[in-house]
Amino acid sequence: MKSYQRMTRLYAPTLKEDPNEAELASHRLLLRAGMIRKTASGVYSYLPLAWRSLMKIEGIVRDEMDGIGAQEMLLPILTPAELWHESGRWDDYGPELMRISDRHEREFCLGPTHEETVTDLVRNELRSYKQLPCTLYQIQTKFRDEMRPRFGLMRGREFIMKDGYSFNESAESLQHTYDDMRGAYARVCERCGLKALPVAADTGQIGGSASVEYMALADAGEAELVWCDCGFAADTEVGTAVIDVMEGPGAELEKIATPCEGSCVALADLLGIDVKATRKSLAIIDGEGRPTLVLIPGDHEMNECKAEHVFGQYRAMTPEELEKAGLVAGFMGPVGLGADVRVMADISLKDSTSWLVGANEAGYHYKGARPGRDFDVDEWVDVASAQEGDVCPECGKPLHGARGIEVSQVFQLGTKYSESMGATFADENGDERPLIMGCYGIGISRTLAAVVEQHNDEHGICWPVAVAPFEVEIVPLDIDDDLVWPAAESVADALASAGVEVVVDDRKERPGVKFNDADLMGFPYQIVFGKRAVSSGACELKDRTTGERIDVSLDEVVSKVRGLVESARA
């Protein structure tokens, strides 16, 4: 028979004060509720409460993966360097890869992800189209020597991930698996109680053709997003929104005095115009060493990630380089520049014919500058960050801004690993072709942090039932009372034997201490047993998330709470 957990036996050392190293609510609350402890920078121990939640998240992930026909397995964490040499990533992955050597000085890494290992596994034994498609996954600890481990479980150097890999014979078959995965990923977020948006993601260095990241919405998220009521959502690093560009004043080129600090906002204030009608100029040296002036709408920023796609490893010009290029900081512009400076402009400006730009002379701008007439644009590029207020490319409505935590990502890999590592299969005609792959990751430990980030208030965590460490806390206010304790214990026993996960606060503490801890740990339902209520045959039921309290008779409380919990389980 299942029994309840006594608080006096629970290893969950709570903290009264906020730990000062914790900036994020999730980090602070997971520490304070006695769920995690730091062992080293970016390396955490999961205490019993955290482990219970993690097991539930894993359970939901397994259920969804198995539901689409993926098969669970377990690959080794320790990975021989040779495999990473084959794919080329031993060098490309950089210092994030945790490298070690054994007693024979053979090199290994602690797997940060397992494309190499899984490709090696299947390359000799997944040989025929008859065995395809095949999707394998595992739930395992991963290692990445992050430059800035922070925010507790959000960005660790050791963390738990579900990683899955699909092997398909054709692009259509991959698309099918990929679509199934997207469905499963959306359901994982929903079942864990996460409000998340699927956003088109950067396929960046990994190559491949399509990728979606699932972003849990949270002010503390590292990613900047734009989204629309119509369902469109994008990462500002990737998404090309339609920017509402405004023409500058005048149609003819005219130099005007602009005695102000050299920013678009200051310039717009001075001239009494909208900052949208200005153009921002940035002077960079691109990845190939070429001096380049980049123009974007004055109310936007250049996005580093987008800019790297266009310019490679670029950097800002030094004062000497600016001088050499004939550019004056704060008053830079494309008019009259030498042929050695390339002019690149954001694609959003392509149809604009009157630009307000710096005159390369302190205190002066040109108005009415027209591309093609007064200066040339060498290339139109997509480098401006999408932002709130831009226009939805799908329906034309203004976009909302939000921040998000990347909890998971799906990726169409194609043949990058199968080609470099020689993983081929025989197709129907007996021809050898490289396997077509997809990869799919969910941050299990990051999901836990994201859930807490979305579900908390000033008193503590407000767990969704599906991933709560326990479902119910029973709070007898006076455990020595000969009515209170027996009533509380009998309800605890009945709920536990009905399969509800129950903690009983059996400590000899003041009611205030018990209430505070109950709110801090934040199990979804609290049942409070006070002397007066019990003697009149009742107890109080509190919903942690809504704060709503109701009196329930002792006869009904078990069936009521059981019903609430069972209907809220994922």
Residues 158-187 close enough to bind ligand ATP by CB under 6 A:
159, 161
Which region among 129-137, 265-273, 316-324, 407-415 touches Mg ion (by CB under 5 A)? Answer: 407-415
- List 529's β-bridge partners, or say none: 476
For residues 409 and 445, which CB has a smaller minimum distance to Mg ion in the complex?
Answer: 409
- List 294's β-bridge partners, or say none: 282, 344
CB 331, CB 278: distance < 8 Å: no
Residues 373-412 close enough to bind ligand ATP by CB under 6 A:
406-409
* Sequence-separated (6 or more) residues with CB below 8 Å from residue 7: 503, 504, 505, 506, 507
For residues 5 and 445, which CB has a smaller minimum distance to ligand ATP in the complex?
Answer: 445
Residue 409 binding Mg ion, by CB under 5 A: yes
For residues 354 and 447, which CB has a smaller minimum distance to Mg ion in the complex?
Answer: 447
C-alpha distances (whole Å) from 61 to each of 7, 46, 65 are: 29, 19, 6
Residues 445-504 close enough to bind ligand ATP by CB under 6 A:
445-446
Residue 533 near which of ligand ATP, Mg ion, none (CB within 5-8 Å, type-dependent): none
Residue 276 near which of ligand ATP, Mg ion, none (CB within 5-8 Å, type-dependent): none
Angle value at C-alpha 188, between 399 and 51, nearest 5 degrees: 120
Distance CA 294, CA 357 (A): 12
Q: Give me the torsion for CA of 96, 102, 108, 109, rounded to 10°.
A: -30
Residue 414 near which of ligand ATP, Mg ion, none (CB within 5-8 Å, type-dependent): none
Cis peptide before 319 (omega within 30 of 0): no
Which residue type occupies 416? K
> Closest distance between ligand ATP and the C-beta of residue 160, in Å?
8
Distance CA 32, CA 179 (A): 40
> Closest distance between ligand ATP and the C-beta of residue 248, in Å?
38
Residues 137-156 close enough to bind ligand ATP by CB under 6 A:
144, 146, 155-156
Q: Which of 334, 331, 352 is nearest to 342 (CA)?
A: 334
| Chain residue whose CB lies nearest ligand ATP | 443
Residue 211 binding ligand ATP, by CB under 6 A: no
Give 486-527 as a DSSP string.
HHHHHHHHHHHHTT--EEE------HHHHHHHHHHHT-SEEE
> Closest distance between ligand ATP and the C-beta of residue 292, in Å?
27
For residues 211 and 281, which CB has a smaller minimum distance to ligand ATP in the complex?
Answer: 211
**What is residue 6's three-state secondary structure?**
strand
- How many residues bind ligand ATP (CB under 6 A)? The answer is 15
Residue 361 near which of ligand ATP, Mg ion, none (CB within 5-8 Å, type-dependent): none
Binding mask 94-123 for ligand ATP (x = CB under 6 A): -------------------x----------
For residues 10 and 439, which CB has a smaller minimum distance to ligand ATP in the complex?
Answer: 439
> Closest distance between Mg ion and the C-beta of residue 406, in Å?
5
Distance CA 209, CA 204 (A): 10
Binding residues (CB under 5 A) for Mg ion: these are 409
Binding residues (CB under 6 A) for ligand ATP: these are 113, 144, 146, 155-156, 159, 161, 406-409, 441, 443, 445-446
